[in-house]
Amino acid sequence: MSTQVTMYLIYGMIGALAIIVVVYFILSKMMNKSEYKQIQKLREGTRTSRFSAEILYQKLYITYSKIPYIKTYVLKLRRRLEIINVDDEYATRRDSAKILTKVLIPTILIMTVSIVLTHNNYLILSILLIFELFMIDALIDGSVDKLDNNLLKEQLEFFAEIRHAYHEYNMVEEAIYQISQDDEKAISRQGEKIYEVLISNDPEIELEKYYDVAPNPYLKEFAGVSYLTKEFGDRKVDRASLYLKNVNNITEEMQIEILKRDKIDYVFQSLSIISVVPVLFLEPLKSWSIDNFSFTESFYQGKIGMLLQIIIIILTVICYMLLRKVKNNGSTDRKATNQENPWQAKVYRNPIFKRFVNLFLPKRGSKEYIKIQKLLKDSASKLKMEWFYVNRIAAAIVTFALALGIMMVLHNTAIKWVYTEPTTEYNLLTGLTDRERKSAMEMTESDNKFLDMFKGNLKTTTEDIARAMERHEDYEDAAPEEITKASQRVYEKLQTVNSEVLRPFEVLIAVVFMMIGYVSPVWLLKFQYKMRLMEMEDEVMQFQTIILMLMRIERVNVEIILEWLERYSNIFREPISRCVNNYEAGAWEALEVLKNETNYPLFIRIVESLQAAVEKIPIIDAFDELDSERGYYQAKRQESNERLIARKGMIGKVIGFAPMVMLFVGYLIVPLVYIGLTSMSSTMQSMSSETI
Q: What is the pLDDT of residue 330?
A: 40
Query: What's the rounded mean pLDDT across residues 373-391?
Result: 83
Alpha-carbon gap, residue 620 to 685, rounded angstroms:
88
Note whether 473 and 385 are same-domain residues: yes
Alpha-carbon gap, residue 163 to 172, rounded angstroms:
10
Note whether 133 and 255 are same-domain residues: yes
Structural domain tally of the chain? 2
Q: Which one has a higher pLDDT value, 239 or 526?
A: 526
Where residue 393 falls among pLDDT bands split at 50, 70, 90?
A: very high
Q: What's the DSSP call for residue 240?
A: E
Which residues partner with 241 through β-bridges? 236
H/E stretch holding 241: strand 240-241
431: left (phi over 0), alpha (psi -120 to 50) or beta: left
Q: What is the pLDDT of residue 339?
A: 53
Of 370, 361, 414, 411, whose CA–CA distance to 388 is shortest?
361
Alpha-carbon gap, residue 579 to 593, rounded angstroms:
7
Query: What's the rounded mean pLDDT across residues 561-582?
Result: 86
Q: What is the pLDDT of residue 37?
A: 53
Of 359, 338, 356, whose CA–CA distance to 347 is shortest?
356
User: What are the CA-CA distances from residue 190 to residues 148, 170, 243, 303, 609 (Å)?
Assistant: 13, 21, 19, 59, 34
- Sequence-separated (6 or more) residues with CB below 8 Å from residue 265: none
In a domain, 421, yes or no: yes
Give residue-wise pLDDT tens across range 123-175. 667 767 767 776 777 778 778 888 888 888 888 899 889 988 888 888 888 88
**For residues 264 and 645, is the Cβ–Cβ distance under 8 A?**
yes
Q: Which one has a higher pLDDT value, 487 or 393?
A: 393
Q: What is the pLDDT of residue 83?
A: 76
- Sequence-separated (6 or more) residues with CB below 8 Å from residue 123: 306, 310, 405, 406, 409
**For residues 197 and 203, is the Cβ–Cβ distance under 8 A?**
yes
H/E stretch holding 478: none
Note whether 238 and 359 are same-domain residues: no
φ, ψ for residue 522 (rounded to 5)? -70, -45
In this model, does residue 77 exceed pLDDT 60? yes
- Amino acid letter, residue 216: N
Where residue 333 falls among pLDDT bands split at 50, 70, 90?
A: very low
Note whether 259 and 359 are same-domain residues: no
254-257 own/partner pairs: CB under 8 Å, 24+ apart: 254/152, 254/155, 254/156, 254/159, 254/218, 255/156, 256/634, 256/637, 256/638, 256/641, 257/152, 257/218
Q: Which of 493, 514, 533 is the last residue of a domain?
A: 533
- Amino acid letter, residue 12: G
Q: Which of 88-92, 375-379, 391-395, 470-474 has the largest mean confidence?
A: 391-395
**For residues 469 and 451, is the Cβ–Cβ distance under 8 A?**
no
Q: What is the pLDDT of residue 39?
A: 45
Q: What is the pLDDT of residue 425?
A: 61
Q: Tell me the helix, strand and coil percentages in the chain, rounded to 5.
A: 80, 0, 20
Q: What's the DSSP call for residue 362?
A: P
Q: What's the DSSP call for residue 295?
A: G
Q: What is the pLDDT of residue 651?
A: 86
Alpha-carbon gap, residue 602 to 536, rounded angstroms:
10
User: What are the CA-CA distances from residue 17 to residues 3, 10, 11, 24, 450 (Å)?
Assistant: 21, 11, 10, 10, 100
Q: What is the pLDDT of residue 549?
A: 83
Note whether 238 and 383 are same-domain residues: no
In this model, does residue 515 exceed pLDDT 90? yes
Alpha-carbon gap, residue 483 to 79, rounded angstroms:
74
* Candidate from 134-148, 305-319, 331-345, 567-581 with smallest mean pLDDT: 331-345
**For residues 129 and 66, is the Cβ–Cβ distance under 8 A?**
no
φ, ψ for residue 237 (rounded to 5)? -130, 115
φ, ψ for residue 241 (rounded to 5)? -65, 130
In a domain, 578, yes or no: no
Give residue-wise pLDDT tens across range 198-254. 898 888 888 888 888 888 888 888 988 898 888 888 888 777 888 888 888 888 888
Question: Mean pLDDT of all residues in the chain?
Answer: 79
Where residue 420 falls among pLDDT bands split at 50, 70, 90?
A: confident
Note whether 527 and 396 are same-domain residues: yes
In a domain, 666, yes or no: no
Which DSSP string do the residues of 17-30 spell out, in sequence order? HHHHHHHHHHHHHH
**For residues 623 and 609, is the Cβ–Cβ distance under 8 A?**
yes
Q: Which of 514, 533, 552 is the last residue of a domain?
A: 533
Q: Which of 202, 234, 265 is the last residue of a domain?
A: 265
Which DSSP string do the residues of 73-133 spell out, in sequence order? HHHHHHHHHHHHHSS-HHHHHHHHHHHHHHHHHHHHHHHHHHHHHHTT-HHHHHHHHHHHH
What burial letters (b/e) apply to 53-88, b meaning 16+ CB within 10 Å? eeeebeebbeebeeeeeeeebbebbbebbbbbbbeb
In a domain, 515, yes or no: yes
In this model, does residue 14 exceed pLDDT 80? no
What is the number of alpha carbons within 13 Å of residue 260 lying toward its C-beta?
22
CB neighbour class for 13 (10 Å; exposed up to 12, middle 13-18, buried from 19): exposed
Query: What's the rounded mean pLDDT across residues 273-287?
Result: 79
Alpha-carbon gap, residue 670 to 254, rounded angstroms:
49
Of 556, 548, 597, whose CA–CA distance to 576 is shortest?
597
Q: What is the pLDDT of residue 340?
A: 56
Q: Report, in angstroms and rounded to the nearest whole number, the Rg of the chain calculated over CA atoms.
A: 37
Domain encompassing residue 488? 343-533
Q: What is the pLDDT of residue 40?
A: 52
What burial letters (b/e) apply to 576-603, b meaning 16+ CB within 10 Å? bbebbeebeeebeebbeebbeebeeebb
Of 650, 560, 635, whose CA–CA distance to 225 is shortest?
560
Give CA angle at 438 (437, 441), nearest 5°: 85
What is the number of alpha carbons within 13 Å of residue 104 lying toward its C-beta?
13
In a domain, 47, yes or no: no
Q: Which one has a higher pLDDT value, 629 or 161?
A: 161
Note whether 136 and 242 are same-domain residues: yes
Alpha-carbon gap, residue 296 to 269, rounded angstroms:
36
**For residues 275 and 323, is the Cβ–Cβ distance under 8 A?**
yes
Query: What's the rounded mean pLDDT across residues 560-589?
Result: 86
Of 688, 680, 687, whose CA–CA distance to 430 is shortest?
680
In this model, does residue 35 exceed pLDDT 70? no
In a domain, 623, yes or no: no
**For residues 277 and 92, is the Cβ–Cβ distance under 8 A?**
no
In a domain, 493, yes or no: yes
Note whether 409 and 518 are same-domain residues: yes
Alpha-carbon gap, residue 618 to 396, rounded angstroms:
56
**For residues 549 and 249, is the Cβ–Cβ distance under 8 A?**
yes
Note whether 253 and 388 are same-domain residues: no
Note whether 367 and 479 are same-domain residues: yes
Q: Which one has a higher pLDDT value, 682 or 636?
A: 636
Q: What is the pLDDT of residue 508?
A: 92
Note whether 390 and 251 are same-domain residues: no
Packing angle of the helix pair 271-280, 630-661 (nearest 10 deg): 10
**For residues 460 and 494, is the Cβ–Cβ distance under 8 A?**
yes
In a domain, 516, yes or no: yes
